[in-house]
Structures are given as C-alpha cells and as structure tokens.
Amino acid sequence: MSLNIIVLAKQVPDTRNVGKDAMKEDGTINRAALPAIFNPEDLNALEQALRIKDANPGSTVTLLTMGLPRAAEIIREAIFRGADSGIVLTDRVLGGADTLATSYSLAQAVKKIGKYDIILGGRQAIDGDTAQVGPQIAEKLGIPQVTYAEKILALKDGHVTVKRRLESGVETVKAPLPCVVTVNGSAAECRPRNAMRVQKYKLAVTPSEKEKLSDELKARVDARPYLQLNEWGAATVNADPEQIGLPGSPTKVKNIVNVVFTAKESMRLGDNDEEIENLVKELLANHTIG
Amino acid sequence: MANFYTDNPDLKHHLNHPLMRKIVELKERNFADADKYDYAPYDFDDAMDSYDRVLEIVGDICGGVIADNAESVDHQGPRVENGRVIYADGTKENLDVCRKAGLMGMSMPRRFGGLNFPITPYIMAADIVSRADTGFENLWGLQDCAETIYEFANEDQKKRYISRVCKGETMSMDLTEPDAGSDLQSVMLKATEQPDGTWRLNGVKRFITNGDSDIHLVLARSEDGTKDGRGLSMFIYDKNDGGVTVRRIENKMGIKGSPTCELVFKNAKAELCGNRRLGLIKYVMALMNGARLGIAAQSVGVSEIAYREALAYAKDRKQFGKAIIEFPAVAEMLSVMKAKLDASRSLLYETSRFVDIYKIYDDIAKERPLSPEERKEAKFYSKLADALTPLVKGMGSEYCNQNAYDCIQIHGGSGFMKDYACERIYRDARITSIYEGTTQLQVVAAIRHVTTGTYLSLIRQYEAQEVRPELAGIKARLVEMTKLYENAVEKVTSVKESDYNDLMARRLVEMAGNIIMSYLLLMDANRNESFTRSATIYNNLAEAEVTKHADFIAKFNPEEVALYMNV
C-alpha cells in the first residue's frame, strides 16, 4: 500500500539556547540572535512518517512548511533524512499570522496538494508552544485528529492505530484515514541525515534560491527535477486575503514579559512520612497540585 | 549536543590540505561518475563539500548518540548466547544509526553502493568515532576489510560482498590463533578444498575482534604439509552459511563494547579470496597496513578525548583559590598533551594522503596501464606510505597512552575513581599500542626506512619548503636535529651486529618520527597560524627527545649489548 504522507514542520528560533539578547525591547523575539532550527517535535513527526514509508514501499513523504523563504533549509534537512520533497509556503501577506491564520493557510496548502492519506506534525513549536496549529488544520480539513502521539502502532485497512502519551498515562486509539496526527517529543528520535542523500540533494533549491546561483548551477538544477523544491504563495493556495496574515489573526499580543522564577518561600521537611503527608495536603488544599 | 567534527577546526585544516586536489581528481577520475550517479561530485569543490557534509553527519552522530552510549556500553558490554554474540544495547543503537546515516562502505566504489571517499576523509571519520567511543571504532572501522575484498577478490565476490558491507553488514578479520599471534606464519586453521570448488574450514581462532560479524576474512592453511606463511590462503566466510560459533568472549581491560571472540570453525563453508598461498605474504600484509592506519586514527581519537577531558577538568577544578590550569605544572601537561595530539594527527593525515595516492594509482592500473611518470609517482608514494604507517601507528598509540595517563593525573584522586570518563579512556587506550602489531613490531617495520634513507629523503623534502620568517627558528633547530639523526644512524649502521642494531632501532625510529612530526607541525603552522603554539611546543619536546637519543647512542658501548641480553 503506497501512501501520500504530509509532514507539517516549522523553522523556529532555537529557544533552547537563549542568551541575553534573545528578546528585543518590545518583547518580540530577536530572530537574528537565535539560530534557526527544525522544530524538535516536527523531527519526531518526520521519523514517524519515515517509518510509515519504510513499512509501505512506494509511499512519499512531503514536507510542508510556512515561513520565510529560508525555511527551505528545513525541507533540505528533511530530505537528507529521507523525505521525498517539500513545499515552502511563503509570502509577505502571510506574515504576522496567529495560529488561526496559520492553520487556515496550511490547510489551503494541503488542499492544493490534494492527495494525502495522513498528515503528521509535531505537537507544538518551541517558539509559540500553542499546540493549536495541528488540531486546527484537522478541523479546517474536516478530518479526525490524534494528538500527543508517541508511536504509530499500525496503519492498515484505512485506519491508523496510535499510542498517545498523556500526562496521566498512555492511551491507544484508532482513527480512520485521512487524519492529522501530532507527535510528542517522547516519540522516537529522528534518524540522522544520510550520507548519500546529502550528496544527492544538497543543491535542492526553491525558485527564489535558484536565482542566486551561478548559471552553471542553475543549469544543474534545471536538468534535475528532484533538485527543484516548491515555493508557494498565498495566491497559489487560493487563500482568502481576509483570513491570512495580520488581517486573519484575531490574536493580538498585548505584552510579553520576561519571567524569571525565583524561590520566595521555602520550608524544610523532616525525614518522616507525617511531614511529607502534611505538605501534600497543603498543596492539594491550595490547588498547587491536583 | 556537540558536533565532534565542527567543534574541532583542526580537522577541517587537515581535510583542506593542498594535496587533496590531486587525490580527489585521481580518485574521481576527473569526475567521470557525475553523470552516472546522482550523488557523485562534478568537480573538486563539490567533492570537498561532500566530504565536509558527510563528516558533519559523523560528528553529529558521534557527539550525540555514540558518545552518550559510551559509558553504558563499557558497563554492559557484549555477551555470548548459544554461540552468538549479543551486543550491548548502546552498540546496537550505534550500529543502527551508522547504517541509517549510510556510513558503512565509505571508501568503496559507487558501483557497489559505496561513497567512493578517499582514505583521508574516511580516516578522519575514524578519528572522530574513536573520540566518541574507542571500542565502537573497531566495529565501525572493520568496514576496512572490504578494501581487501575490493583489492584481491574476483568481480563476482566483490559484487556479492562489498554491496552488503555498504548496506551495513559488519566484518571481521580472523587471523590470530592460540599459537599464532604476532607470528602469523604458524596459523593452523585448516582449509580443505571441495569438489565443487568451495572450501571447508576447521579449527580455532582467538582474539577475533567482532568475531560474530556477518562477513569474515579468514587466514587458513590451504596447503597440506606446509608450515610457513607460504601455505596460507585468504578465505571469505559468510555467516549465513553457518559453521562458525563463538565459544567465548574475552573479559578485557578496555574497549569492552567491542567483542573479542574465540571462534570454532566446524566444516564452515568458505570461498577462496584471491590466489592460493598469497594469504599471508600478500593479502594480510595489505590488510594489516590498512588496519594499522585505522589504529593510528583510533589512537588520535583517544588522544583528542583525553586532552579534552583533562582540559575541561583543569579549568573547572579549583585548588588553592584558583583553577588548577593556572598552575604551570598542569598547564605544561596540557600543552604537551595538545602538542602530542596535534603531532600525531598531522602524521596521521600525511600518511593517509600518501596511502590515498598510491592506492588510487593501483586501482587505476586495473583500468589502464599507468604512464611511466604515474608509475614512478605511485612507487614514490607507496614507499612513503609504507614508511609512515608503522611510525604513526607506533608513536601515535604511545602518545595516546601518555595522554590518557596524563588525563588521569590531571584529575588527581578523582581520576582514580570510576566517576569520570578518564578511567575508561585510560583502559581503552591501552590496547592501541598492542594490537595490529605491538609498538616493538612497528619499530621492526620502520627500521628499514631508517637504514635505507626513506625518512631522511622525506625530511629533506620538508626542509626544502619555505616557511614564514617567524617560523625560521623552529626550522633551524630541525636542521640541527636532522644532523644528530644522521650521525646516530651512521654510528649504528656502521656496526654490523644484529642485537646491537635491534637494540638501537627504537631510538632511531623515534628520532625520525620526532623530526618528521615536528616538520609537519611546522608546515601546518605555515599554512594556519593556530598551529604555531603546538609547532613550537612540540619542537621543544622533539628536540629534547632527539638529543636524548643521540646522546644515548653516541655514548653507548656496543659491547654492553650482552648485559642487556643476559636477562
């Protein structure tokens, strides 16, 4: 059974290595100070996609990302690891999108792709931590969604069986295809780049990247369709101008505050069950836990 | 997560050596594969970019998965169940990630599914892997055996076996037996030819690294009634055919993740590789040279991690109100560690470049006759590779042991505990100066290049190169050191007494090694200022060593040899 698999991914600033200059005065992210990386949980999703592909020869994995033109970097990264092709959805008018406008734009791109059996993405991106885009895309496409996936257990007879990792435990669910699955960071790590694929695809470029190449390299790209990455704009995916970018984003950021946690109160417990039990009771009573 | 390639700019310096252009152009036959294979380079820069990118993958995997697993692999180790080896969990993961990354069969031609990399970037990968986990470097590095199949097996065997190695199957070279260690002429494992042309192997092999591999190269006695090396042939045993079981694995001091096996061959089906009777005298010699370069790379990787662990600890550990690195005694140890590391690495890549050129010419000679000029060049580099291989294996492995020792010393009492990586590094280092020929046997292989003048002519070539004015002082000292070396060689060779000659051999070989490595660092500094510090420090060390040996040889009375021999 060959499947058309779409992986949603995002290029994000590496918030795991935040320095002093990570945030601008106005509270927005200083992207120049942070390296742009493949959103970690999207890599977990890519691995699940590649495993489906391994188990179902003839399947294709297409990476879909929305962002700046340079987001093509993560498409190459995905191809180096085993994906087949990718699309960068990039357009000035798509900028400033909140999760609603983002999911609308991406859903339009998925419709434009047309054929798909399963859509995988990371649970959330490390720059926004909303975990909303995957589920919203499922809603907009009118298909089921499985969130917090840790492992795709089976994919057959038009259904996918997924192990979900929840705060309180593990749940195994089954959903009909096509559907959206968002993958947790606790899922298997993504496989490495492959030496042969890196050599084959290192020159894979989007049309706007191709423009910057020498004539000789342009000719190489033209002669090899597998080196041509797709770059779509809002018009390509028939997006309604009112539903994308800033106009399509009801969320307005009022203020971002840099919060530094400091310990204010502390108490020392004795090494006995009674004092520990009293603490737990207290924490339950003031709703710190439970 | 650290990347063990990009965090070490010295590697890129060596990769970008000027001689690489020649190597790449020869290796790629002027980029003839570019139209046949979509991953083949189309010009020199493209090829170099590919090596760089692939080494970045190696660095990523090593800095992440393999280094992370090193401790648990050391603790868990492999085990034997029903005659089969079960790797430690971390080893399984390491192999899996290397296969997925396509890092097996790196130097094999593309028609078998390899990457067609020259030896130099492949050896660089070995250097990086060894830094992450020295024991795992053995399992990964045994892909080297495919080189022997490529050089000596028939086309059908190459197709069947090399393509499997490129897909990730592991290899082993089954040479040693209980009574045949350094002396491989005594190999007894019996090979019997069958009417169908296949062979059956019977006997025992011992100390076989990764002895439960998928594809084995086996040295066996094919000629009944013979007792020496001329009765031995090389065979390929395919694990799928069965007939070989693992009786036990050794409980070793170090490289514990790498299973060292005792193998029992019971009518194991095998195929002859190459010609009968050439097993030891030709194929094993070639195999060993490749393996020795691999151990040299492994040693450099150990030196690297020993230096890094020591440096990190010395910066962190405070005594008497300051970091211990601020004390001259500690700072000197670290500086000398770095100088030894840099010196052995420079020699490693100089050797690998020479190996590259002559091997590529050998390969081209299978396609077309070489021109007289090419033949001459091939011979020239072959001789240099032959001369430098025992030098870098011998001295590189001794240096890594010294660095591992100093790494523990810098850790003080904590280094003696099992809490730091340095104790594993120390145990892992110890084998490098023993296997694939002890340091003493490397001296035996190297000494003829002292007496026939190979080293001296190489030193003269280095001497002829111009250096920046600020490096002229080091060069002047090297010229003086060379005179001491020449005098010492003259004195030793003028006495025709073999015990005396053998007794002095190590000193002469080390003198040559000291001078050559010091020159290499001088030229590194000439090309890249960041090497000036190590070039200077190593020159101080090398000069002291050369002077010490020269003094010993000058004052040594050959009649005292008997005192030493009367033990």
Q: By the CB < 8 Å criterion, does A200 face chain B? A: yes
Interface test with B, best of A193, A200, A201 (most B CBs within 10 A): A193
A30 lies in a domain?
Answer: yes
**Among residues B148, B169, B190, which one ends one of the domains?**
B169
Shared domain check, B413 and B285: yes
Summarize the confidence of residues B266-293 as an average pLDDT.
Answer: 94
Pure H helices in B101-133: 119-132
Q: By the CB < 8 Å criterion, does A174 face chain B? A: no
A87 lies in a domain?
Answer: yes
A273 lies in a domain?
Answer: no
* Half-sphere exposure in the Cβ direction for B238 (13 Å, CA): 15
Q: How many domains does chain A have?
A: 1
B223 catalytically annotated: no
**Residue in B151, B153, B160, B155 with CA at minimum distance from that of residue B275:** B153
- What is the tens place of the pLDDT at every residue in B402-418? 999 999 999 999 999 99
Interchain pair B115, A220: CB under 8 A:
no
Shared domain check, B229 and B313: no
Question: From A192, which residue of chain B is nearest by alpha-carbon distance?
Answer: B101
The alpha-carbon gap from B437 to the nearest alpha carbon of chain A, in Å, equals: 33
The alpha-carbon gap from B413 to the nearest alpha carbon of chain A, in Å, equals: 33
Predicted local distance difference test score (pLDDT) of residue B365 = 96
DSSP lists the bridge partners of residue B177 as B180
Interchain pair A197, B53: CB under 8 A:
no
Report helix, strand or coil for A58: coil
Tell me what percent of the residues of chain B surpass a pLDDT of 90: 98
**Among residues B110, B135, B169, which one ends one of the domains?**
B169
Report chain A residues whose CB lies below 8 A from the CB of B101.
Answer: 191-195
- What is the tens place of the pLDDT at every residue in B32-91? 999 999 999 999 999 999 999 999 999 999 999 999 999 999 999 999 999 999 999 999
Predicted local distance difference test score (pLDDT) of residue A266 = 77
CATH code of the domain in which A24 resides: 3.40.50.620
**Torsion sign across C-alpha atoms A239, A243, A244, A247:** positive
Give pTM, 2 decimals: 0.93
Question: From B41, which residue of chain A is nearest by alpha-carbon distance?
Answer: A199
Report helix, strand or coil for B315: helix
CATH code of the domain in which B271 resides: 2.40.110.10
Report chain B residues whose CB lies below 8 A from the CB of A199.
Answer: 39-41, 50, 53-54, 115
Q: By the CB < 8 Å criterion, does A159 face chain B? A: no
CATH code of the domain in which B499 resides: 1.20.120.470
Q: How far apart are CA B317 and CA B539, in angstroms?
A: 29
**DSSP 3-state helix, strand, coil percentages of chain B (rounded to 5)?**
65, 10, 25
CATH code of the domain in which B74 resides: 1.10.540.10
Predicted local distance difference test score (pLDDT) of residue A201 = 98
A281 lies in a domain?
Answer: no
Q: By the CB < 8 Å criterion, does A228 face chain B? A: no
Tell me what percent of the residues of chain A surpass a pLDDT of 90: 73
Among B40, B41, B103, beta carbon nearest to A195: B103
- What is the tens place of the pLDDT at every residue in B419-474? 999 999 999 999 999 999 999 999 999 999 999 999 999 999 999 999 999 999 99
Structural domain including A15 reads 4-243
Long-range contacts of A51-59 (CB under 8 A, 24+ apart): A51/A152, A51/A188, A52/A3, A52/A5, A52/A118, A52/A152, A52/A155, A53/A3, A53/A5, A53/A82, A55/A155, A56/A1, A56/A2, A56/A3, A56/A155, A57/A2, A58/A2, A59/A1, A59/A2, A59/A3, A59/A4, A59/A5
pLDDT at A208 over 80: yes
pLDDT at A286 over 90: no
pLDDT at A259 over 90: no
Burial class of residue A48, CB neighbours in 10 A (0-12, 13-18, 19+)? buried
Interface test with A, best of B4, B37, B39 (most A CBs within 10 A): B39
Structural domain including B529 reads 439-565
Interchain pair A198, B54: CB under 8 A:
yes
Report helix, strand or coil for A205: strand
In the predicted model, what is the mean pLDDT of chain B?
97
Helix (H) or strand (E) holding B511: helix B498-527
Among B40, B97, B101, beta carbon nearest to A195: B101
A256 lies in a domain?
Answer: no
Predicted local distance difference test score (pLDDT) of residue A15 = 78
Summarize the confidence of residues B223-249 as an average pLDDT.
Answer: 96
The alpha-carbon gap from A47 to the nearest alpha carbon of chain B, in Å, equals: 12
* Residue B149: Cβ within 10 Å count: 25
Tell me what percent of the residues of chain B surpass a pLDDT of 70: 100
In the predicted model, what is the mean pLDDT of chain A?
92
Shared domain check, B371 and B269: no
The alpha-carbon gap from A130 to the nearest alpha carbon of chain B, in Å, equals: 25
Summarize the confidence of residues A158-186 as an average pLDDT.
Answer: 96
Predicted local distance difference test score (pLDDT) of residue A255 = 75
Residue B217 and residue B234 in contact, taking contact as beta carbons nearer than 8 Å: yes
Among B38, B54, B100, beta carbon nearest to A191: B100
Helix axes B328-367, B119-132, angle to 10 degrees: 140
Summarize the confidence of residues B294-312 as an average pLDDT.
Answer: 98
Among B40, B41, B54, beta carbon nearest to A195: B54
The alpha-carbon gap from B419 to the nearest alpha carbon of chain A, in Å, equals: 28
Predicted local distance difference test score (pLDDT) of residue B492 = 97
Question: From B50, which residue of chain A is nearest by alpha-carbon distance?
Answer: A199
Token couple for B306: 């020993």
Predicted local distance difference test score (pLDDT) of residue B182 = 85
Report chain A residues whose CB lies below 8 A from the CB of B61.
Answer: 192
If pLDDT is split at 50, 70 and 90, which confidence band does A158 have? Answer: very high
What does R_g of chain A's alpha carbons equal in angstroms?
A: 22
pLDDT at A289 over 90: no
Question: From A217, which residue of chain B is nearest by alpha-carbon distance?
Answer: B42
| DSSP character string of B172-215 | EEE--BTTBSS-GGG---EEEE-TTS-EEEEEEEEEEETTT-SE
Summarize the confidence of residues B156-172 as an average pLDDT.
Answer: 97
Among B38, B97, B115, beta carbon nearest to A195: B115
CATH code of the domain in which B354 resides: 1.20.140.10
Shared domain check, B496 and B430: no
Predicted local distance difference test score (pLDDT) of residue A96 = 86
Interchain pair B38, A200: CB under 8 A:
yes
- What is the tens place of the pLDDT at every residue in B76-126? 999 999 999 999 999 999 999 999 999 999 999 999 999 999 999 999 999
Interchain pair A197, B40: CB under 8 A:
no
Shared domain check, B195 and B80: no
Summarize the confidence of residues A98-127 as an average pLDDT.
Answer: 94
pLDDT at A203 over 90: yes
pLDDT at B164 over 90: yes
Summarize the confidence of residues B142-161 as an average pLDDT.
Answer: 95
Report chain A residues whose CB lies below 8 A from the CB of B102.
Answer: 194-197
Shared domain check, B179 and B140: no
Please tell me which residue in B169, B304, B436, B510 is annotated as part of the active site.
B436
Predicted local distance difference test score (pLDDT) of residue A7 = 98
Amino acid making up residue B563: L
Shared domain check, B235 and B290: no
Among A193, A199, A226, beta carbon nearest to B101: A193
Taking CA atoms, B326 is separated from B52, B334, B342, B441, in Å, by: 36, 11, 22, 40
pLDDT at A112 over 70: yes
Summarize the confidence of residues A64-82 as an average pLDDT.
Answer: 97
Interchain pair A195, B41: CB under 8 A:
no
The alpha-carbon gap from A92 to the nearest alpha carbon of chain B, in Å, equals: 32
Shared domain check, B448 and B345: no
Size (chain A), residues: 290
Shared domain check, B322 and B447: no
Shared domain check, B321 and B377: yes
Interchain pair B41, A191: CB under 8 A:
no
Q: How many domains does chain B have?
A: 4
pLDDT at B142 over 90: yes
Report chain A residues whose CB lies below 8 A from the CB of B54.
Answer: 195, 198-199
Shared domain check, B380 and B322: yes
Shared domain check, B289 and B425: yes
Report chain A residues whose CB lies below 8 A from the CB of B39.
Answer: 196-197, 199-200
Token couple for B107: 């130097």
Predicted local distance difference test score (pLDDT) of residue A28 = 65
A181 lies in a domain?
Answer: yes
Q: What are phi and psi of B211, to 5 degrees?
A: -65, -10
Predicted local distance difference test score (pLDDT) of residue B15 = 98
Residue B486 and residue B463 in contact, taking contact as beta carbons nearer than 8 Å: no
* Interface residues from chain B to A (CB-CB < 8 Å): 38-42, 49-50, 53-54, 57, 60-61, 97, 100-103, 106, 115
pLDDT at A78 over 90: yes
Q: Which of A82-91, A124-133, B558-567 has the lowest mean pLDDT?
A: A124-133
Interchain pair B50, A198: CB under 8 A:
yes
DSSP A192: P
**Among residues B436, B453, B471, which one ends one of the domains?**
B436
Among A191, A202, A220, beta carbon nearest to B53: A202
Predicted local distance difference test score (pLDDT) of residue A26 = 63
